[in-house]
Amino acid sequence: MTVFLIHVRDPQFYALPSRTRARNGKIRVMGFPPIGIMSLSAVLKRAGHECVMFDQANPETPDGVIIEEIQRQQPALVGLSFLSTTSYPYAKILARQIRAANSKVKLAFVAGTANSSFLTCWSDWMIRQRWRA
C-alpha cells in the first residue's frame, strides 16, 4: 500500500535563512525535522508499505505540488501531521483539497495537539500521540 505522510507547517515555525542553496543543491531550512512522520514512515516501511513524505517547510512542496502527486500516484492513505495548533487552519485547507482531488483516498491525522478532537470530522482515521515522561 502506498502511504503519503505530510507534515503541515505554519510559516511562523520555520525560516529560510538565505535564498542560496547548500553545496549539495538542497534548500537550507531552519526548523525542526518532522520526526513524527519520519518514525511512522520507518514503521510502515518495515511492515512492507511504500511511504512518500512531504515536509511543508520546504518551499518546493506547497499544497499544489502535493495534490498533483496524490492525483498521479493515487496513494491508499494520506496522513497529515502538524506540530502546533496554529497549523490547524493549514491542515484543514489541505484536507479539503485532498478530498476534492481524490474522494477515495483514506485520510488520517497524526496529532498530539489540543485540536486533535476537532480533526475527526476531516479524517477517516485519527492517530493520537500521547507522550509520557
Q: What is the pLDDT of residues 74-99, one digit of tens each?
A: 999 999 988 777 888 888 899 999 99
- The verdict on residue 63 lying in a domain is yes
Which CATH number belongs to the domain containing residue 121 in this structure? 3.40.50.280
Higher pLDDT, 86 or 67: 67
End-to-end CA distance of the chain: 34
Count the domains in the chain: 1
- Taking the model in full, what pTM does it have? 0.79
Residues 6+ apart with CB under 8 A from 92: 122
Instruction: State how far the alpha carbon of 29 is from the alpha carbons of 55, 63, 84, 98, 106, in Å.
Output: 11, 18, 18, 26, 30
Instruction: Decide if 133 is inside a domain.
Output: no
Distance, CA of 52 to CA of 114 (rounded, Å): 27
The least confident of 4-8, 11-15, 79-83, 104-108 is 11-15
- Asked whether 77 and 5 are in contact (CB, 8 A), the reply is no
